[in-house]
A and B are shown apart, each in its own frame.
Chain A
Amino acid sequence: MKYLALIYGRPEGSPEYGSEEWGPYMAGYEAASKTYNDDGVFVAGEALQPVETATCVRIRNGETTLTDGPFAETKEHLGGFYMLDCDSLDDAIKYAKLIPSAQHGTVEVRPVMTFD
């Protein structure tokens, strides 16, 4: 069963590049990715450019409108994701807990829909 782990956080909430916390933070991501690969659960995973780079696309009555910024005005923004293939939600949660951003942001775990 595939699960998407959506990583949310506030820009000011996560360690800054060059700060003392940056090294351990990145090492945490490397360690998580290594575990996912070693355990054979990794399907995909990427970090996203900051929310200022987001563009929303909407088509109404055949007309396309583009708006600058994210879909929802929230304090925590989507910053990256992993897709993991796990046996159960418990396993998915176990792997999601390895994501360093879970320490200060929120990781939302969602099962991928299977059409049957």
Chain B
Amino acid sequence: MTTAPDQIHRALDRVIRADRGRLVATLAHSLRDLDLAEDCFQEAITRALANWGKTGLPKSPQAWLLSVARRHAIDTLRRSKSFAQKSADIAMLTAEIAQETHEVSDIPDHRLRLIFTCCHPALDQSARVALTLQTLGGLTTPEIAAAFLVKTPTMAQRLTRAKSKISKAGIGFKIPEAADMAARMQSVLQVIYLIYNEGYRATKGCDLIRINLCEEALFLARLVVSFLPDEAEAQGLLALVLFSMARRHARTEESGKFVPLEDQDRSQWDKHMIFEAQNLLESALKKGRIGVYQLQAAIHGLHCQAETAEQTDWVQISHLYGLLAGIDGSAVVRLNQAVALGFSGQGAQALALIQQIEHLLADYQPLYAAKADVHRRNNQFEDAMHAYNRAIALSTLPAEVAFLQGRLEECRAEIGENSVAQKKRPSKARP
């Protein structure tokens, strides 16, 4: 029996997409070596490509890959110099092979251990993000490199270095102890948040590889919540990602032009996602352990509840940003608070807050975009134009530049009309 190559590729792609994380986690758990686990899994893929054409698709591709990877691991360990030291590992793998079945459900799910390992705070933060995307998300090194705008060899080196540190420094492949749990959880959620944030930013630039990062963040957040349903902040983060993704289709025009929240066609928002997010957020808030992700989700939730932009509860949103600033007093959060104040008609307070943080966010594009917007709403068009020009100079995304140019022209037109109106007024004759 032979199987067509494209059929094999499709079957393999499906398995890699859905089960790679689980299979690598199983291998890494036995081997206590992520690097070796990845190598063995890769070898199994290579052999699948070579063999399945001749033998046909195995009954359970997952079980087949795991079995081949385990045997390859045994061979690799036998060849290593410290054979004696590794003999316990070989015995364990041999025992696992003896227990192999074709049932996918028999494969233990160690992905939570894997995510805690990949997000270990002893690793460089950019490496944590890349490693999580590779081992759990199944993204390739070139894909991750493209998503974070670095060269493939740079990303490959970053990944290799991180995996080597995990193995050489003895970063354990385990769930953290209770005393460390809160800090380690924070690191995991931060990695998912960074992935989401990078993907979200890209939605303004219609960059498909980077938009997929939102899907990855959603997948990872779901994974963590499914393992740890009592973590309020994990639920909060999942709700935040869902609220944000619910609006993804309304965020860009067909031409790729970015559409700001207030101009979005709200009928395009995904109601199922919003519903799921609201339930998650309620469940999280009931736990009484408020945190930054729950607060951000609550802010997104208020946006999603408003049937029109005018109905947005900006007072409540600026209040939530105030609470958020109390926990995470970063200038960026205070900038968002200023934006909310601006929308709620408190333009003077908004500008006062922007003034306080301006020196902290020099050359930060969103600051000038926000400042311009508040001035524009206050009818201070000259000041608005000044800030728009600054924001445009600092923009890197063409869609964003186009949007800001449009606003700039609006301000120019306003000034033009006013000055024409002023000239028409009879001026007092000078003595």
List the interface of chain A (C-beta within 8 A of B): 1, 3, 86-94, 110-111, 113-114, 116
Contact = CB atoms under 8 A, between A and B. Distances in A.
Interface string B73-84: 000000011100
A40 to B, nearest CB: 17
B87 to A, nearest CB: 13
Contact of A88 (B85, B168, B172): B172
Given A88-B172, A89-B172, A90-B180, 7 more contacts: A87-B172, A88-B171, A89-B120, A90-B174, A90-B176, A116-B81, A116-B82
What DSSP secondary structure best describes chain A's contact surface?
Answer: mixed
B122 A89 contact: yes
A98 B365 CA distance: 44
B170 interface: yes
A111 B80 contact: no
A111 B85 contact: no
Nearest to A93: B122
Contact of B80 (A88, A90, A116): A116
Contacts of B80: 116
Interface string B162-202: 00000011111010110110000000000000000000000
A20 B99 CA distance: 63
Interface size class on chain B is 10 to 19
A111 B170 contact: yes
Contacts of A88: 170-172, 174
B412 to A, nearest CB: 54
A70 B356 CA distance: 45
B82 A89 contact: no
B172 A90 contact: yes
A103 B303 CA distance: 44
16 contacts: A1-B170, A88-B171, A89-B122, A89-B169, A90-B171, A90-B174, A90-B176, A90-B177, A90-B180, A93-B122, A94-B179, A110-B169, A113-B168, A114-B82, A116-B80, A116-B81
Given A89-B122, A90-B177, A90-B180, A116 B85 contact: yes
A3 B168 CA distance: 11
Nearest to A3: B170
B168 A111 contact: yes
A89 B171 contact: yes
A92 B172 CA distance: 11
Nearest to A111: B169
Contacts of A90: 171-172, 174, 176-177, 180
Contacts of A89: 120, 122, 169-172
A86 B171 CA distance: 11
A1 B180 CA distance: 21
A88 B171 CA distance: 6
Contacts of A116: 80-82, 85
A94 B170 CA distance: 14
Contacts of A1: 170
Contacts of A87: 170, 172
Nearest to B177: A90
Contacts of A110: 169
Nearest to B176: A90
Contacts of B120: 89
Contacts of B82: 114, 116
Q: Would you list the 5 A-B pairs with minimal beta carbon distance, nearest first? A: A116-B82, A88-B172, A1-B170, A89-B170, A89-B171
A110 B122 CA distance: 11
B7 to A, nearest CB: 42
Nearest to A113: B168
A92 B170 contact: yes
A87 B32 CA distance: 12
Contacts of A92: 170
A92 B180 CA distance: 13
Contacts of B122: 89, 93
A3 B171 CA distance: 12
Contacts of B172: 87-91
Nearest to B83: A116
Contacts of B170: 1, 3, 86-89, 92, 111
A89 B180 CA distance: 13
A91 B82 CA distance: 24
Contacts of A91: 172
Interface in B142-173: 168-172
A110 B82 CA distance: 21
Nearest to B80: A116
In this complex, the member of A1, A89, A110, A111 whose beta carbon has the largest number of chain B beta carbons within 10 angstroms is A89
A3 B85 CA distance: 19
A94 B174 CA distance: 15
Nearest to A116: B82
Contacts of A94: 177, 179-180
